[in-house]
C-alpha cells in the first residue's frame, strides 16, 4: 500500500528501531519515491546515535526532513536514493537523490529531489551529500594549480575531497590516516597515502576531516609558512585541544572552517544549493568513487548496523542500506 512505509528511528541514544509510517497523499507538486538505497553518513550519524549533538546545536544540526528532536526520539539521515512512482511527468520513473532519512518510501515536494544521471548507479549516488560537502570545501579553500595538499582523515568526506583534488592540474595530494589499510582506498582514488608519522610537511593547504584533536594538531604541523587548515570535522560535544604555542604565530598559520549548511561565500552570489547538489551528482559519474562504498545491509538490519558502526565493530567508509525483499 502506498500510504504505508517503515522508517528507522533513534528511540534514545544508543538504541534504534524500525517504526511504521503512514504517508500523506501526494499533492500536485509532490513526488512519491520508493527507496532503493540509502547511505549511512558514518561520522555524523554515529555521533547522533550516541547522543553527541550539543544542545546549543540542535537547530543547526536538523536534517531537511528530520522528525523528532535530539537527542531522541529522532528520525535522522540524509543520503537517500529512490525511484519516483508518482509525480510530475518529467520525473516519472526517474532515479532521484533526496536528503531524506532511512525510510522505505516517502512523499516530498518535487523540488526536494535531484535526478541522478543515468550512468551513476544508486549505490554510488548515495554519496551525493558527501561529494557536495567536498565541493563546498573546495570552493572555500580555492586550491591553486601546483599546490601541495594533505587531507588528514580518510573517511567519507576526506576521501571525496582527495578524489576531487586529484583532478586539479599538477596538485600533489596525500591522504593521511592512522589506518594503514586506507592506502588501498587512496590508490583507487589516484592519490598518495601516508600514516601520520610518514606524512611530509611544507603543505600549502591541509584539509582536516578526522574529527580528532590529534588530527587537527597534525594538520597544523604539516603546513608550510602562511599555509591554512580547512577544517571540515564535526566534533559534536567532544572537547578539542590544539597547541598554538609553537610555530602557529611565527609561521602565520591559519585554521578555517567549512560547513555544508550554507553555500561557500565564494559562490553564494552565483550558485544555489540545488546547483551544488546537481554538480555533486555529475561528479559522481567518476567510478573511482566506488572505493568509498565499503559494505551493505538490508534495511531491517539497520538498528544493529548503526550500533556496530558506532561501536567500531563494523569498519566502513560508506555503509549502504538496501530496500528489496529481506
Question: Are residue 115 and residue 143 in the same domain, yes or no?
Answer: no
- Calculate the CA 141 to chain-centre distance: 18
pLDDT tens track for 275-303: 999 999 999 999 999 999 999 999 999 99
Q: Which CATH number characterizes residue 209's domain? A: 3.40.50.720
The pLDDT value given to residue 325 = 61
Question: Are residue 146 and residue 120 in the same domain, yes or no?
Answer: no
Residue 273 included in any domain:
no
pTM of this prediction?
A: 0.94
Query: Which residue ranges of the chain lie beneath pLDDT 50?
Result: 1, 326
Burial of 288 (0-12, 13-18, 19+ CB in 10 A): middle
**Closest alpha carbon to 281 in 106, 34, 44, 96:** 96
Question: Are residue 297 and residue 253 in the same domain, yes or no?
Answer: no
Distance between CA atoms of 254 and 277, rounded to whole angstroms?
Answer: 28
The pLDDT value given to residue 326 = 43
Domain count, the chain: 2
Name the pairing type of β-strands 293-298 and 318-322. parallel
Question: Are residue 80 and residue 143 in the same domain, yes or no?
Answer: no
Residue 207 included in any domain:
yes
Question: Are residue 136 and residue 253 in the same domain, yes or no?
Answer: yes
In 3-state terms the chain splits into helix, strand, coil percentages (rounded to 5) of 30, 30, 45
> Looking at the DSSP assignment, which residues form a beta bridge with residue 33?
84, 106
Structural domain boundaries, residue 309: 4-127+284-322
Among 257, 275, 304, the domain boundary falls at: 257
Query: Within 10 Å of residue 156's Cβ, how many Cβ atoms?
Result: 29
pLDDT tens track for 223-265: 999 999 999 998 888 889 999 988 899 999 999 999 888 999 9
The pLDDT value given to residue 43 = 87
C-alpha cell of residue 108: 516530498
**Closest alpha carbon to 158 in 149, 148, 147, 145:** 149
Residue 272 included in any domain:
no
Question: Are residue 225 and residue 136 in the same domain, yes or no?
Answer: yes
Amino acid at each position: 500500500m502506498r500510504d504505508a512505509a517503515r522508517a528507522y528511528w533513534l528511540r534514545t541514544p544508543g538504541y534504534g528501531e524500525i517504526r511504521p509510517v503512514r504517508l500523506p497523499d501526494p499533492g500536485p507538486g509532490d513526488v512519491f519515491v520508493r527507496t532503493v538505497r540509502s547511505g549511512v553518513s558514518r561520522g555524523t550519524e554515529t555521533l547522533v546515535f550516541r547522543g553527541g549533538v550539543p544542545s546549543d546545536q540542535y537547530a543547526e544540526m536538523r536534517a531537511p526532513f528530520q522528525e523528532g528532536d535530539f537527542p531522541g526520539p529522532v528520525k535522522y539521515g540524509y543520503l537517500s536514493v529512490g525511484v519516483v512512482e508518482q509525480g510530475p511527468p518529467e520525473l516519472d520513473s526517474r532515479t532521484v537523490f533526496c536528503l531524506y532519512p532511512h525510510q522505505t518510501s516517502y512523499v516530498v515536494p518535487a523540488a526536494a529531489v535531484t535526478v541522478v544521471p543515468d550512468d551513476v548507479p544508486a549505490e554510488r549516488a548515495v554519496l551525493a551529500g558527501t561529494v557536495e560537502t567536498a565541493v563546498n570545501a573546495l570552493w572555500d579553500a580555492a586550491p591553486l594549480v601546483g599546490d601541495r595538499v594533505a587531507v588528514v582523515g580518510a573517511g567519507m568526506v576526506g576521501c571525496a575531497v582527495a578524489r576531487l583534488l586529484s583532478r586539479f592540474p599538477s596538485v600533489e595530494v596525500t591522504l593521511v590516516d592512522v589506518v594503514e589499510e586506507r592506502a588501498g582506498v587512496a590508490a583507487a582514488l589516484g592519490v598518495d597515502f601516508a600514516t601520520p608519522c610518514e606524512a611530509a610537511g611544507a603543505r600549502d593547504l591541509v584539509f582536516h576531516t578526522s574529527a580528532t584533536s590529534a588530527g587537527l594538531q597534525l594538520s597544523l604541523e604539516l603546513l608550510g609558512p602562511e599555509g591554512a587548515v580547512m577544517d571540515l570535522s564535526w566534533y559534536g560535544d567532544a572537547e578539542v585541544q590544539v597547541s598554538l604555542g609553537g610555530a602557529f604565530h611565527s609561521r602565520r598559520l591559519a585554521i578555517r572552517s567549512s560547513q555544508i549548511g550554507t553555500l561557500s561565500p565564494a559562490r553564494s552570489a552565483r550558485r544555489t544549493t540545488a546547483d551544488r547538489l546537481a554538480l555533486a551528482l555529475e561528479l559522481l559519474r567518476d567510478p573511482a568513487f566506488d572505493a568509498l562504498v565499503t559494505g551493505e545491509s538490508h534495511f531491517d538490519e539497520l538498528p544493529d548496523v548503526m550500533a556496530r558502526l558506532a561501536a567500531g565493530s563494523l569498519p566502513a567508509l560508506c555503509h549502504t542500506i538496501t530496500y528489496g525483499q529481506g
